[in-house]
Amino acid sequence: MGIGGIPDAVYESMDGNLELGIHTEVISDRAMRAIQRGVVTGNQMSLHQGKVIISFALGSEELYSLLNNNPLIECHPVDYVNDPFIISQNENMVAINSAIELDLTGQVCSDSVGPYI
């Protein structure tokens, strides 16, 4: 999951010890809260078991404090994190992405409306 209203709502709706893993390009405050609530442990991940895999963070000072020297978090280059071969090594992987527009052929616009990013 990335950032935005849909991923945030999903993170907020999760409760209990689900032992989920995170393998994402960007981690946010809502992901941090899921980690703090024990929803995310990484224990069920096939690759990098017991870890949260990210490329970068976008959020509050509290998020950056959580990431600082945290053995649960591993930061890798984006070409690794977003590599379909790497991603496919995790069993039961689910991706949740939001979109701004979707056309009849299935093309998705998720980063801009007209000229505005």
CA gap 84, 29 in Å, rounded: 25
Active site residues: 25
* Residue 112 in tokens: 């801009």
Three-state secondary-structure class, residue 52 = strand
- Whether the CB-CB separation of 56 and 25 falls below 8 Å is answered with yes
Three-state secondary-structure class, residue 23 = strand
